[in-house]
Amino acid sequence: MDRIRIEGGRRLSGAIPISGAKNATLPLMIASLLTDQKLTLENVPALADVALLKRILANHGVDYMVSGKRAGDAPNIGETLTLSAENIVDTTAPYELVSRMRASFWVVGPLLARMREARVSLPGGCAIGTRPVDFFLMGLEALGAKIDIEGGYVVAKAPKGLSGARVHFPHVSVGATHTIMMAATLAKGETLIENAASEPEVRNLADCLIKMGAKIDGAGTPKIRISGVDALQGTTHRVLSDRIETGTYAMAVAAAGGDVLLEHAEPGTLQAALDAITQAGAEITETNAGIRVCRNSSGLNPVDITTEPFPGFPTDLQAQFMALMTRAKGTSHIRETIFENRFMHVQELARLGADIHLDGQDATVHGVEHLKGAQVMATDLRASVSLVIAGLAAEGETEVNRVYHLDRGFERLEQKLSACGADIERLSG
Protein backbone atom coordinates (compact mmCIF):
# COMPACT_ATOMS: atom_id res chain seq x y z
CA MET A 1 0.00 0.00 0.00
CA ASP A 2 1.37 3.42 -0.96
CA ARG A 3 2.40 5.92 1.71
CA ILE A 4 3.21 9.60 1.61
CA ARG A 5 6.31 10.88 3.31
CA ILE A 6 6.57 14.54 4.23
CA GLU A 7 9.48 16.42 5.75
CA GLY A 8 7.70 19.38 7.33
CA GLY A 9 8.73 22.98 7.83
CA ARG A 10 9.12 24.13 4.22
CA ARG A 11 7.34 27.26 3.04
CA LEU A 12 5.31 26.88 -0.13
CA SER A 13 5.79 29.17 -3.06
CA GLY A 14 4.75 29.06 -6.71
CA ALA A 15 1.55 28.07 -8.47
CA ILE A 16 -0.85 25.13 -8.13
CA PRO A 17 -3.28 24.38 -10.95
CA ILE A 18 -6.69 23.52 -9.54
CA SER A 19 -8.35 20.53 -11.20
CA GLY A 20 -11.96 19.99 -12.21
CA ALA A 21 -14.21 19.21 -9.25
CA LYS A 22 -14.71 15.55 -8.35
CA ASN A 23 -18.13 16.29 -6.90
CA ALA A 24 -19.28 18.02 -10.08
CA THR A 25 -17.77 15.40 -12.40
CA LEU A 26 -19.60 12.45 -10.81
CA PRO A 27 -23.19 13.71 -11.28
CA LEU A 28 -22.31 15.07 -14.73
CA MET A 29 -21.10 11.62 -15.78
CA ILE A 30 -24.30 10.09 -14.39
CA ALA A 31 -26.35 12.60 -16.42
CA SER A 32 -25.09 10.83 -19.57
CA LEU A 33 -27.68 8.11 -18.78
CA LEU A 34 -30.48 10.59 -19.58
CA THR A 35 -29.80 10.71 -23.32
CA ASP A 36 -29.02 8.36 -26.21
CA GLN A 37 -26.68 11.03 -27.62
CA LYS A 38 -23.08 11.82 -26.72
CA LEU A 39 -22.23 13.90 -23.65
CA THR A 40 -18.72 15.37 -23.69
CA LEU A 41 -17.22 16.62 -20.43
CA GLU A 42 -14.12 18.82 -20.37
CA ASN A 43 -11.74 19.39 -17.45
CA VAL A 44 -12.41 15.94 -15.95
CA PRO A 45 -9.90 15.14 -13.18
CA ALA A 46 -7.93 11.87 -13.22
CA LEU A 47 -9.16 10.39 -9.94
CA ALA A 48 -9.93 6.93 -8.62
CA ASP A 49 -13.62 7.83 -8.08
CA VAL A 50 -13.94 8.94 -11.71
CA ALA A 51 -12.34 5.68 -12.89
CA LEU A 52 -14.72 3.66 -10.72
CA LEU A 53 -17.76 5.53 -12.05
CA LYS A 54 -16.62 4.84 -15.61
CA ARG A 55 -16.76 1.12 -14.72
CA ILE A 56 -20.18 1.46 -13.11
CA LEU A 57 -21.62 3.29 -16.12
CA ALA A 58 -20.01 0.80 -18.52
CA ASN A 59 -21.92 -1.90 -16.66
CA HIS A 60 -25.16 -0.15 -17.70
CA GLY A 61 -23.94 -0.08 -21.31
CA VAL A 62 -22.36 3.38 -21.46
CA ASP A 63 -19.43 3.66 -23.88
CA TYR A 64 -16.76 6.17 -22.99
CA MET A 65 -13.77 7.67 -24.71
CA VAL A 66 -11.03 9.88 -23.34
CA SER A 67 -9.54 12.37 -25.77
CA GLY A 68 -8.07 15.79 -26.03
CA LYS A 69 -4.58 15.10 -24.66
CA ARG A 70 -1.54 15.27 -26.83
CA ALA A 71 2.06 14.40 -26.07
CA GLY A 72 3.64 17.51 -24.57
CA ASP A 73 0.41 18.90 -23.08
CA ALA A 74 0.81 20.22 -19.57
CA PRO A 75 -0.20 17.45 -17.15
CA ASN A 76 -2.67 19.76 -15.45
CA ILE A 77 -4.98 19.81 -18.44
CA GLY A 78 -8.00 17.74 -17.44
CA GLU A 79 -9.33 14.95 -19.57
CA THR A 80 -12.04 15.35 -22.15
CA LEU A 81 -14.42 12.47 -21.59
CA THR A 82 -17.17 11.54 -24.02
CA LEU A 83 -19.92 9.28 -22.72
CA SER A 84 -22.53 7.59 -24.88
CA ALA A 85 -25.51 5.84 -23.33
CA GLU A 86 -27.10 5.01 -26.69
CA ASN A 87 -28.10 1.56 -25.45
CA ILE A 88 -28.70 0.97 -21.79
CA VAL A 89 -28.27 -2.78 -21.50
CA ASP A 90 -28.70 -3.24 -17.75
CA THR A 91 -30.69 -1.18 -15.23
CA THR A 92 -29.09 -2.89 -12.23
CA ALA A 93 -26.28 -1.21 -10.28
CA PRO A 94 -24.75 -4.06 -8.28
CA TYR A 95 -23.68 -4.06 -4.65
CA GLU A 96 -20.01 -4.78 -5.49
CA LEU A 97 -19.75 -1.44 -7.27
CA VAL A 98 -22.25 0.82 -5.45
CA SER A 99 -20.84 -0.13 -2.04
CA ARG A 100 -17.49 1.33 -3.09
CA MET A 101 -18.80 4.81 -3.89
CA ARG A 102 -21.99 6.31 -2.51
CA ALA A 103 -22.49 8.72 -5.42
CA SER A 104 -23.07 5.79 -7.77
CA PHE A 105 -26.45 5.32 -6.06
CA TRP A 106 -27.51 8.49 -7.90
CA VAL A 107 -27.91 6.50 -11.16
CA VAL A 108 -31.33 5.53 -9.77
CA GLY A 109 -32.82 8.89 -10.94
CA PRO A 110 -31.74 8.91 -14.61
CA LEU A 111 -32.28 5.15 -15.07
CA LEU A 112 -35.80 5.37 -13.71
CA ALA A 113 -36.61 8.48 -15.75
CA ARG A 114 -35.36 7.06 -19.04
CA MET A 115 -35.84 3.29 -18.68
CA ARG A 116 -38.81 3.42 -16.28
CA GLU A 117 -37.09 0.99 -13.94
CA ALA A 118 -33.93 0.77 -11.88
CA ARG A 119 -32.51 -1.75 -9.45
CA VAL A 120 -29.75 -0.14 -7.44
CA SER A 121 -27.96 -1.52 -4.41
CA LEU A 122 -28.34 0.43 -1.18
CA PRO A 123 -25.00 2.19 -0.61
CA GLY A 124 -24.74 1.31 3.10
CA GLY A 125 -22.84 3.32 5.71
CA CYS A 126 -19.36 4.73 5.43
CA ALA A 127 -16.60 6.07 7.63
CA ILE A 128 -18.16 9.52 8.04
CA GLY A 129 -21.68 8.52 9.07
CA THR A 130 -24.73 6.37 8.35
CA ARG A 131 -25.82 8.41 5.29
CA PRO A 132 -29.32 7.04 4.60
CA VAL A 133 -31.23 7.39 1.28
CA ASP A 134 -34.70 8.20 2.62
CA PHE A 135 -34.86 11.62 0.88
CA PHE A 136 -34.11 10.00 -2.49
CA LEU A 137 -36.86 7.43 -2.03
CA MET A 138 -39.35 10.03 -0.81
CA GLY A 139 -38.57 12.23 -3.84
CA LEU A 140 -38.83 9.42 -6.38
CA GLU A 141 -42.11 8.23 -4.84
CA ALA A 142 -43.46 11.79 -5.10
CA LEU A 143 -42.64 11.63 -8.84
CA GLY A 144 -44.83 8.51 -9.07
CA ALA A 145 -42.30 5.68 -8.74
CA LYS A 146 -43.20 2.49 -6.91
CA ILE A 147 -40.30 1.59 -4.64
CA ASP A 148 -39.53 -1.74 -2.99
CA ILE A 149 -36.48 -2.77 -1.04
CA GLU A 150 -35.52 -6.33 -2.01
CA GLY A 151 -32.40 -8.09 -0.80
CA GLY A 152 -30.49 -4.86 -0.14
CA TYR A 153 -31.56 -3.32 -3.46
CA VAL A 154 -33.84 -0.39 -4.17
CA VAL A 155 -36.19 -1.59 -6.91
CA ALA A 156 -37.87 1.44 -8.47
CA LYS A 157 -40.51 1.20 -11.19
CA ALA A 158 -42.57 3.74 -13.11
CA PRO A 159 -44.10 1.79 -16.02
CA LYS A 160 -45.98 4.85 -17.32
CA GLY A 161 -43.07 7.23 -16.72
CA LEU A 162 -42.53 9.76 -13.93
CA SER A 163 -44.82 12.73 -13.28
CA GLY A 164 -43.82 16.15 -11.95
CA ALA A 165 -44.55 16.87 -8.28
CA ARG A 166 -43.62 19.07 -5.33
CA VAL A 167 -40.68 17.57 -3.43
CA HIS A 168 -39.79 19.16 -0.12
CA PHE A 169 -36.57 17.84 1.45
CA PRO A 170 -36.55 17.85 5.28
CA HIS A 171 -32.82 18.66 5.21
CA VAL A 172 -30.50 19.84 2.48
CA SER A 173 -29.02 16.91 0.55
CA VAL A 174 -26.66 17.38 -2.36
CA GLY A 175 -27.12 13.86 -3.75
CA ALA A 176 -30.91 13.82 -3.41
CA THR A 177 -31.09 17.22 -5.16
CA HIS A 178 -28.91 15.97 -8.06
CA THR A 179 -30.96 12.78 -8.36
CA ILE A 180 -34.45 14.28 -8.25
CA MET A 181 -33.42 17.14 -10.55
CA MET A 182 -32.10 14.66 -13.12
CA ALA A 183 -35.18 12.42 -12.82
CA ALA A 184 -37.57 15.38 -13.16
CA THR A 185 -36.04 16.52 -16.47
CA LEU A 186 -37.84 13.64 -18.21
CA ALA A 187 -41.01 13.57 -16.04
CA LYS A 188 -44.38 14.72 -17.36
CA GLY A 189 -45.21 18.22 -16.12
CA GLU A 190 -43.62 20.44 -13.53
CA THR A 191 -41.53 19.52 -10.48
CA LEU A 192 -40.73 21.92 -7.67
CA ILE A 193 -37.83 20.96 -5.39
CA GLU A 194 -37.93 22.87 -2.09
CA ASN A 195 -35.05 23.08 0.37
CA ALA A 196 -32.80 22.01 -2.50
CA ALA A 197 -29.02 22.02 -2.11
CA SER A 198 -27.58 25.21 -3.61
CA GLU A 199 -24.00 23.94 -3.87
CA PRO A 200 -22.08 25.12 -6.99
CA GLU A 201 -21.98 21.50 -8.20
CA VAL A 202 -25.80 21.49 -8.43
CA ARG A 203 -25.66 24.63 -10.54
CA ASN A 204 -22.93 23.10 -12.74
CA LEU A 205 -25.08 20.01 -13.33
CA ALA A 206 -28.18 22.10 -14.06
CA ASP A 207 -26.25 24.22 -16.59
CA CYS A 208 -25.27 21.02 -18.40
CA LEU A 209 -28.82 19.61 -18.29
CA ILE A 210 -30.15 22.90 -19.71
CA LYS A 211 -27.69 22.61 -22.62
CA MET A 212 -29.03 19.08 -23.11
CA GLY A 213 -32.52 20.56 -23.53
CA ALA A 214 -33.86 20.40 -19.95
CA LYS A 215 -36.04 23.21 -18.61
CA ILE A 216 -34.68 24.16 -15.19
CA ASP A 217 -35.02 27.38 -13.20
CA GLY A 218 -33.49 28.31 -9.86
CA ALA A 219 -30.59 25.83 -9.61
CA GLY A 220 -28.13 27.29 -7.12
CA THR A 221 -31.02 28.44 -4.88
CA PRO A 222 -33.16 26.40 -2.44
CA LYS A 223 -36.07 26.29 -4.91
CA ILE A 224 -35.61 24.54 -8.24
CA ARG A 225 -38.38 24.35 -10.81
CA ILE A 226 -38.14 21.78 -13.59
CA SER A 227 -40.55 21.37 -16.54
CA GLY A 228 -40.21 17.87 -17.95
CA VAL A 229 -39.36 17.34 -21.64
CA ASP A 230 -39.75 14.21 -23.83
CA ALA A 231 -36.04 13.68 -24.50
CA LEU A 232 -32.63 15.23 -23.90
CA GLN A 233 -29.82 15.59 -26.40
CA GLY A 234 -26.03 15.49 -26.27
CA THR A 235 -23.82 18.48 -25.50
CA THR A 236 -20.34 19.55 -24.39
CA HIS A 237 -19.85 20.90 -20.90
CA ARG A 238 -16.94 22.00 -18.73
CA VAL A 239 -16.52 20.77 -15.15
CA LEU A 240 -16.10 23.66 -12.71
CA SER A 241 -12.91 24.07 -10.65
CA ASP A 242 -12.70 22.05 -7.47
CA ARG A 243 -13.56 24.34 -4.54
CA ILE A 244 -12.52 21.72 -1.98
CA GLU A 245 -9.13 21.25 -3.60
CA THR A 246 -8.80 25.06 -3.71
CA GLY A 247 -9.64 25.44 -0.02
CA THR A 248 -7.33 22.57 0.89
CA TYR A 249 -4.28 24.13 -0.77
CA ALA A 250 -5.19 27.56 0.61
CA MET A 251 -5.17 26.02 4.10
CA ALA A 252 -1.90 24.23 3.36
CA VAL A 253 -0.27 27.57 2.49
CA ALA A 254 -1.78 29.18 5.60
CA ALA A 255 -0.42 26.32 7.72
CA ALA A 256 3.08 26.04 6.20
CA GLY A 257 3.51 29.72 5.31
CA GLY A 258 4.39 30.97 1.83
CA ASP A 259 2.92 32.56 -1.25
CA VAL A 260 1.02 30.46 -3.81
CA LEU A 261 -1.26 31.21 -6.76
CA LEU A 262 -4.15 28.74 -7.00
CA GLU A 263 -4.74 28.82 -10.76
CA HIS A 264 -8.30 28.59 -12.14
CA ALA A 265 -9.75 28.77 -8.61
CA GLU A 266 -13.27 30.23 -8.46
CA PRO A 267 -13.49 32.34 -5.26
CA GLY A 268 -17.29 32.66 -5.35
CA THR A 269 -17.59 28.92 -4.75
CA LEU A 270 -15.82 28.97 -1.37
CA GLN A 271 -16.22 32.41 0.13
CA ALA A 272 -17.00 31.16 3.67
CA ALA A 273 -13.78 29.13 3.74
CA LEU A 274 -11.71 31.99 2.31
CA ASP A 275 -13.14 34.32 4.97
CA ALA A 276 -12.12 31.87 7.72
CA ILE A 277 -8.60 31.52 6.27
CA THR A 278 -8.30 35.33 6.13
CA GLN A 279 -9.42 35.65 9.75
CA ALA A 280 -6.78 33.06 10.63
CA GLY A 281 -4.15 35.46 9.31
CA ALA A 282 -3.48 34.59 5.66
CA GLU A 283 -3.83 37.17 2.94
CA ILE A 284 -6.08 36.24 0.04
CA THR A 285 -6.13 38.17 -3.22
CA GLU A 286 -8.37 37.44 -6.17
CA THR A 287 -6.61 37.79 -9.51
CA ASN A 288 -7.74 37.06 -13.04
CA ALA A 289 -5.62 33.89 -12.95
CA GLY A 290 -7.13 32.55 -9.72
CA ILE A 291 -6.58 33.14 -6.00
CA ARG A 292 -3.28 34.13 -4.41
CA VAL A 293 -2.72 33.01 -0.82
CA CYS A 294 0.12 34.40 1.30
CA ARG A 295 1.10 34.00 4.90
CA ASN A 296 4.26 35.47 6.31
CA SER A 297 5.91 34.30 9.48
CA SER A 298 3.34 35.84 11.86
CA GLY A 299 1.26 33.40 13.91
CA LEU A 300 -2.22 32.09 13.21
CA ASN A 301 -5.36 33.41 14.92
CA PRO A 302 -7.92 30.97 16.32
CA VAL A 303 -11.18 31.00 14.32
CA ASP A 304 -14.46 29.24 15.18
CA ILE A 305 -16.37 27.55 12.39
CA THR A 306 -19.59 25.57 11.96
CA THR A 307 -20.09 23.39 8.90
CA GLU A 308 -23.25 24.14 6.95
CA PRO A 309 -24.74 23.59 3.50
CA PHE A 310 -23.59 26.08 0.84
CA PRO A 311 -22.92 29.00 1.15
CA GLY A 312 -21.79 28.08 4.69
CA PHE A 313 -18.45 26.56 5.61
CA PRO A 314 -18.24 23.19 3.78
CA THR A 315 -17.99 19.94 5.73
CA ASP A 316 -15.47 18.76 3.11
CA LEU A 317 -13.00 21.39 4.43
CA GLN A 318 -13.60 20.84 8.15
CA ALA A 319 -10.74 18.38 8.69
CA GLN A 320 -8.28 20.59 6.81
CA PHE A 321 -9.30 23.67 8.80
CA MET A 322 -8.88 21.73 12.02
CA ALA A 323 -5.33 20.85 10.95
CA LEU A 324 -4.70 24.57 10.45
CA MET A 325 -6.18 25.47 13.84
CA THR A 326 -3.94 22.98 15.69
CA ARG A 327 -1.20 25.62 15.47
CA ALA A 328 -3.27 28.74 16.16
CA LYS A 329 -2.33 31.02 19.05
CA GLY A 330 -5.34 30.18 21.22
CA THR A 331 -8.45 28.02 21.27
CA SER A 332 -10.89 27.48 18.42
CA HIS A 333 -14.23 25.66 18.27
CA ILE A 334 -15.26 23.54 15.32
CA ARG A 335 -18.83 22.26 15.00
CA GLU A 336 -19.73 19.58 12.45
CA THR A 337 -23.44 19.67 11.60
CA ILE A 338 -23.60 17.68 8.33
CA PHE A 339 -22.21 14.25 9.24
CA GLU A 340 -22.34 12.68 12.70
CA ASN A 341 -18.99 10.95 12.57
CA ARG A 342 -16.63 13.19 10.68
CA PHE A 343 -13.92 13.58 13.30
CA MET A 344 -11.85 10.50 12.48
CA HIS A 345 -8.83 12.73 11.85
CA VAL A 346 -8.77 13.95 15.47
CA GLN A 347 -6.94 10.96 16.91
CA GLU A 348 -4.44 11.00 14.04
CA LEU A 349 -3.77 14.74 14.44
CA ALA A 350 -3.17 14.00 18.12
CA ARG A 351 -0.32 11.68 17.07
CA LEU A 352 1.40 14.76 15.67
CA GLY A 353 0.95 16.57 18.98
CA ALA A 354 -2.37 18.37 18.40
CA ASP A 355 -4.49 19.13 21.46
CA ILE A 356 -8.14 18.54 20.51
CA HIS A 357 -11.13 17.64 22.70
CA LEU A 358 -14.28 16.13 21.26
CA ASP A 359 -17.76 16.43 22.64
CA GLY A 360 -20.37 15.06 20.26
CA GLN A 361 -20.45 17.27 17.21
CA ASP A 362 -18.11 19.85 18.79
CA ALA A 363 -14.33 19.90 18.72
CA THR A 364 -12.27 22.27 20.84
CA VAL A 365 -8.82 22.84 19.43
CA HIS A 366 -6.14 24.28 21.73
CA GLY A 367 -3.39 25.55 19.48
CA VAL A 368 0.10 24.22 20.16
CA GLU A 369 3.42 25.87 19.38
CA HIS A 370 4.82 22.93 17.40
CA LEU A 371 3.55 19.76 15.75
CA LYS A 372 6.03 16.91 15.49
CA GLY A 373 6.14 14.44 12.57
CA ALA A 374 4.81 10.91 13.17
CA GLN A 375 3.28 7.91 11.40
CA VAL A 376 -0.43 8.49 10.80
CA MET A 377 -3.22 6.70 9.03
CA ALA A 378 -5.68 8.12 6.51
CA THR A 379 -9.30 7.21 7.32
CA ASP A 380 -11.28 9.00 4.60
CA LEU A 381 -10.59 11.35 1.77
CA ARG A 382 -10.69 14.73 3.52
CA ALA A 383 -9.26 13.37 6.79
CA SER A 384 -6.23 12.11 4.84
CA VAL A 385 -5.45 15.46 3.34
CA SER A 386 -5.78 17.15 6.75
CA LEU A 387 -2.89 14.92 7.84
CA VAL A 388 -0.87 16.08 4.85
CA ILE A 389 -1.48 19.72 5.86
CA ALA A 390 -0.46 18.98 9.44
CA GLY A 391 2.61 17.13 8.15
CA LEU A 392 3.66 20.13 6.05
CA ALA A 393 3.47 22.34 9.14
CA ALA A 394 5.09 19.83 11.52
CA GLU A 395 8.75 19.53 12.46
CA GLY A 396 10.42 16.42 11.10
CA GLU A 397 9.05 13.49 9.14
CA THR A 398 5.42 12.46 8.81
CA GLU A 399 4.32 9.32 7.02
CA VAL A 400 0.67 9.10 5.94
CA ASN A 401 -0.46 5.51 5.39
CA ARG A 402 -3.44 4.22 3.35
CA VAL A 403 -3.19 7.01 0.80
CA TYR A 404 -5.64 5.32 -1.57
CA HIS A 405 -8.21 7.56 0.13
CA LEU A 406 -6.33 10.60 -1.19
CA ASP A 407 -6.31 9.25 -4.73
CA ARG A 408 -10.12 9.26 -4.71
CA GLY A 409 -10.21 13.05 -4.67
CA PHE A 410 -6.82 14.74 -5.11
CA GLU A 411 -5.15 14.67 -8.48
CA ARG A 412 -1.32 14.56 -8.40
CA LEU A 413 -1.21 15.89 -4.85
CA GLU A 414 2.50 15.20 -4.23
CA GLN A 415 3.54 16.71 -7.57
CA LYS A 416 1.46 19.85 -7.04
CA LEU A 417 2.90 20.41 -3.56
CA SER A 418 6.49 19.52 -4.38
CA ALA A 419 6.41 21.93 -7.33
CA CYS A 420 5.84 24.63 -4.67
CA GLY A 421 8.81 23.56 -2.58
CA ALA A 422 7.24 21.00 -0.24
CA ASP A 423 9.41 18.03 0.65
CA ILE A 424 6.85 15.33 -0.10
CA GLU A 425 7.01 12.01 -1.92
CA ARG A 426 4.99 8.87 -2.49
CA LEU A 427 6.52 5.62 -1.33
CA SER A 428 5.19 2.49 -3.01
CA GLY A 429 4.39 -0.78 -1.31
User: Which residues are identified as catalytic?
Assistant: 126
Do the Cβ atoms of 406 and 379 come closer than 8 Å? no
Strand-strand pairing, 92-93 and 117-121 = parallel
338 part of the interface to ligand EPZ, by CB under 6 A = yes
Do the Cβ atoms of 352 and 8 come closer than 8 Å? no
Segment lying near ligand EPZ (by CB under 6 A), choices 86-94, 173-181, 272-280, 285-293: 173-181
Q: Which amino acid is at 138?
A: M
For residues 105 and 327, which CB has a smaller minimum distance to ligand EPZ in the complex?
105
Among residues 258, 367, 373, 409, which is the contact residue for ligand EPZ, using CB under 6 A?
409
382 part of the interface to ligand EPZ, by CB under 6 A = yes
198 part of the interface to ligand EPZ, by CB under 6 A = no
For residues 206 and 338, which CB has a smaller minimum distance to ligand EPZ in the complex?
338
Q: What value, to the nearest 5°, has the Cα angle with vertex 179 and ends 177 and 182?
A: 105
Instruction: Quote the least distance from Cβ 222 to ligand EPZ, whole Å.
Output: 13
| Interacting residues of 72 by C-beta distance below 8 A, sequence separation 6+ | none
Helix axes 381-393, 243-256, angle to 10 degrees: 20
Strand-strand pairing, 153-157 and 146-150 = antiparallel
Residue closest to ligand EPZ, measured at CB: 175
413 part of the interface to ligand EPZ, by CB under 6 A = no
168 part of the interface to ligand EPZ, by CB under 6 A = no
Burial of 13 (0-12, 13-18, 19+ CB in 10 A): middle
Among residues 131, 157, 215, 225, which is the contact residue for ligand EPZ, using CB under 6 A?
131
Residue ranges in 306-335 that form contacts with ligand EPZ under rule CB under 6 A = 315-316
Do the Cβ atoms of 120 and 107 come closer than 8 Å? yes
Instruction: Quote the least distance from Cβ 183 to ligand EPZ, whole Å.
Output: 14
Q: How far apart are CA 136 and CA 143, in angstroms?
A: 11
Q: How many residues bind ligand EPZ (CB under 6 A)?
A: 23
For residues 64 and 310, which CB has a smaller minimum distance to ligand EPZ in the complex?
310
Instruction: Quote the least distance from Cβ 407 to ligand EPZ, whole Å.
Output: 13
Q: Which value, to the nearest 10 degrees, does the dihedral of the CA atoms of residues 8, 12, 18, 24 take?
A: 40
Do the Cβ atoms of 10 and 39 come closer than 8 Å? no
Residue ranges in 24-63 that form contacts with ligand EPZ under rule CB under 6 A = 26
Among residues 29, 41, 120, 174, which is the contact residue for ligand EPZ, using CB under 6 A?
174
Residue ranges in 83-122 that form contacts with ligand EPZ under rule CB under 6 A = 102-103
173 part of the interface to ligand EPZ, by CB under 6 A = yes
Report CA 18 to chain centroid distance, whole Å.
14
Instruction: Quote the least distance from Cβ 307 to ligand EPZ, whole Å.
Output: 8
Instruction: Quote the least distance from Cβ 258 to ligand EPZ, whole Å.
Output: 25
Segment lying near ligand EPZ (by CB under 6 A), choices 128-136, 227-235, 384-392, 416-424: 128-136
75 part of the interface to ligand EPZ, by CB under 6 A = no
Q: Which of 71, 77, 79 has its CA nearest to residue 50? A: 79
For residues 79 and 245, which CB has a smaller minimum distance to ligand EPZ in the complex?
245
For residues 308 and 395, which CB has a smaller minimum distance to ligand EPZ in the complex?
308
372 part of the interface to ligand EPZ, by CB under 6 A = no
Segment lying near ligand EPZ (by CB under 6 A), choices 86-94, 171-179, 205-213, 416-424: 171-179
Cα→Cα distances 428→37, 48, 391, 410, Å: 41, 17, 19, 17
Q: Which of 182, 180, 184, 164 has its CA nearest to residue 172? A: 180
405 part of the interface to ligand EPZ, by CB under 6 A = no
Do the Cβ atoms of 251 and 386 come closer than 8 Å? no
Instruction: Quote the least distance from Cβ 236 to ligand EPZ, whole Å.
Output: 22
Instruction: Quote the least distance from Cβ 237 to ligand EPZ, whole Å.
Output: 17
Segment lying near ligand EPZ (by CB under 6 A), choices 63-71, 124-132, 151-159, 420-428: 124-132
What are the b/e assignments for 101-140, b being 16+ CB within 10 Å?
bbbbbbbbbbbbbbebbbbbbbbeeeebeebebebbbbbb
Q: Give the chain's length.
A: 429
- Calculate Rg over the CA atoms of the chain: 22
Kindly list the residues in this chain that would bind ligand EPZ in the complex (CB under 6 A): 23, 26, 102-103, 129, 131-136, 171, 173-176, 315-316, 338-339, 381-382, 409
